[in-house]
A and B are shown apart, each in its own frame.
Chain A
Amino acid sequence: MINTIQAALAPYYLYIKFVHVLAVMAWIWSTAVAYAFYLVPIFKAWRRNPQDPEVREMRNWALERFDHGVSYEHIAFPVILVTGVLLYITAGFNTSINWLLLKLLIVTGILIPIEVWDYHLSHFGGNKRRIRESGAGALAYEKAVHQHWWFLLLTSPTVMIFGILVVFLAISKPF
């Protein structure tokens, strides 16, 4: 079975790699400007002025737009996973390759759980627009915003180090 897939996909290895790398670029950078230059300054202003209704209004609007804008990242991520598995099979990789094993552990144990949480916050139960339109109330909305801020606080340093480490390992294959 694996050999059949390997033989069938072998001629397309570089094309699969192209899609994989393109999706990785979108996953890493698609929210960078919105995050760094819009979301973070607004959230810092809110943390310094938590009672200011105008700042909260801006914060909420920005976060709702961010929920929507993160779609590019969330389309790219499954593409990365599918093409990653195809590359693994096609190239005949296995866990004896040290850099690859470390990369897979980072992806499965750190990045996938982060993205699952992010999908929930942005598109499913934690989506702020849906909570607002559902009439759940101001408290439920505020809790959802706080939960998203907790997510961003905890995942930002993690993604910054381990997201870049994944790319470094794949390109430099250091061990």
Chain B
Amino acid sequence: MLQQSSDTPVGAGAGVDASTFGGAGADLPFSGTPERYLRISIVLSVAIHAWLYGGFSAIKYFVHGETWMFGWKPVLIALASMVLFARFAYRWIMRLDAQYGSGSGWRLVRCTVKLPEAVHRPKR
């Protein structure tokens, strides 16, 4: 049963030591930044589309002797998909990493709990 003692807004930290699961862990800042996410999204999208378009075209051309993939429509579709995915990935990562908004839709509720942990017995 949860014992709720106080509510804390998401924006404010609360100071109680808790270290069972590494809660008192090192003060190591997370290395993700919006600029980094943007660069990664672009590189990720280019790499994925290079693999898909390049691999598809190479197999079609060298194995089956087809050339339709080099027409303007497939190339345009690949380029458009690359741009759209880069944008989608960037926005997704930013949203997932709480870079958008203030977090006011959530609050942190302080309570006392017991966290279940599996007991791992050594193998015989």
Q: Using CB atoms and an 8 Å cutoff, list the residues of chain A in contact with chain B.
A: 40-41, 43-45, 47-57, 60-61, 64, 68, 95-96, 101-102, 105-106, 109-110, 128-129, 132, 137-139, 141-143, 145-146, 149-150, 152-154, 156-158, 160-162
Contact = CB atoms under 8 A, between A and B. Distances in A.
Say whether chain B's binding surface is mostly helix, strand, loop, or mixed.
loop
Contact of B103 (A44, A110, A145): A44
A45 B25 contact: no
A153 B14 contact: no
Interface of B: 10-32, 37, 40, 44, 48, 51-52, 55-56, 59-60, 63-64, 85, 88-89, 92-93, 96-98, 103, 106, 108, 110, 115, 117-118, 120
Given A53-B16, A61-B21, A105-B51, A47 B97 contact: yes
A158 B10 contact: no
B22 A95 contact: no
A158 B85 CA distance: 9
Contacts, number: 143
Contacts of A51: 13, 27
Nearest to A138: B25
Given A51-B27, A157-B88, A61 B59 contact: no
9 contacts: A44-B97, A47-B97, A51-B13, A57-B19, A101-B56, A105-B55, A129-B120, A142-B28, A153-B37
Contacts of B26: 137-139, 142
